[in-house]
A and B are shown apart, each in its own frame.
Chain A
Amino acid sequence: EPEVTQTPSHQVTQMGQEVILRCVPISNHLYFYWYRQILGQKVEFLVSFYNNEISEKSEIFDDQFSVERPDGSNFTLKIRSTKLEDSAMYFCASSDQGATPSMNTEAFFGQGTRLTVV
């Protein structure tokens, strides 16, 4: 069964350092997403990406964040200068929506990367 894979599963970084979280979406999917979950809180939408550009982003997704699809398979989230409050579980997701978004499609989630900023 196809799945979304994320690496690493756990990343510890010092405050102020840059981190890159990596995701391999399902191969025929067109839409890609990042969500995050701060410990004990709800899962929050960060950004969606389609056709090599950001299609939506939340207020959380400020200038410290960026996303990229550097090749045909990877989808990355970069945090330029990490803060303590960036510590969270970050989930990547993908879906196979067509040109007209439909809710009759399912977003598949990866297992998450736990980011700890110290």
Chain B
Amino acid sequence: AQSVTQPDIHITVSEGASLELRCNYSYGATPYLFWYVQSPGQGLQLLLKYFSGDTLVQGIKGFEAEFKRSQSSFNLRKPSVHWSDAAEYFCAVGFIRDTGRRALTFGSGTRLQVQP
């Protein structure tokens, strides 16, 4: 069965510092990987996705993520964090069920706080 692990429940960084949010997945086939952000009171917004090709993917708001098959990881990075980046971040793996239908499995999320 597929699963997603985000080992860090809560991270605090200073504004301007670099950021890396960890995500590890378990899935027997080629994974389809996503990072979503949820700002307070808002819905889930897609930051970036990986389907195939270049393992370093660029997303919105200056975020990037690198797919590492050997480590089953898809970590999210940003070189310089802004106060507006404070939010909850969810990693998700897309998979095809036995019935052929797709679904997303989400990690438990990492809450990012940004200190001035």
Interface residues in chain A, defined as those with a beta carbon under 8 Å from any beta carbon in chain B: 4, 6, 9, 35, 41-45, 48, 55-56, 91, 97, 101-104, 106-112
Contact = CB atoms under 8 A, between A and B. Distances in A.
A69 to B, nearest CB: 17
A18 to B, nearest CB: 24
B44 interface: yes
Given A43-B92, A56-B99, A91-B43, 17 more contacts: A6-B43, A41-B108, A42-B106, A42-B108, A48-B103, A91-B44, A97-B102, A101-B102, A102-B102, A103-B32, A103-B94, A103-B95, A103-B102, A106-B49, A109-B43, A109-B46, A112-B44
Interface residues of B, number: 27
Interface in B57-116: 90, 92, 94-97, 99-109
15 contacts: A6-B43, A35-B104, A35-B106, A43-B90, A44-B106, A45-B103, A48-B101, A55-B99, A56-B97, A56-B99, A97-B102, A101-B102, A109-B36, A109-B43, A111-B43
Contact of B109 (A4, A42, A97): A42
Main secondary structure of the interface of B (DSSP, over half): strand
Contact of B96 (A48, A101, A106): A101
A25 B41 CA distance: 19
A23 to B, nearest CB: 11
- Give the most central of A91, A103, A110: most B CB within 10 Å: A103
A35 B90 CA distance: 14
Contacts of A108: 46
A7 to B, nearest CB: 13
Contacts of A6: 43
A43 B106 contact: yes
A101 B94 CA distance: 12
Given A48-B103, A101-B100, A101-B101, A110 B108 contact: no
Contacts of B97: 56
Nearest to B4: A42
Contacts of A45: 103-105
A56 B108 contact: no
A112 B88 CA distance: 14
A56 B103 contact: yes
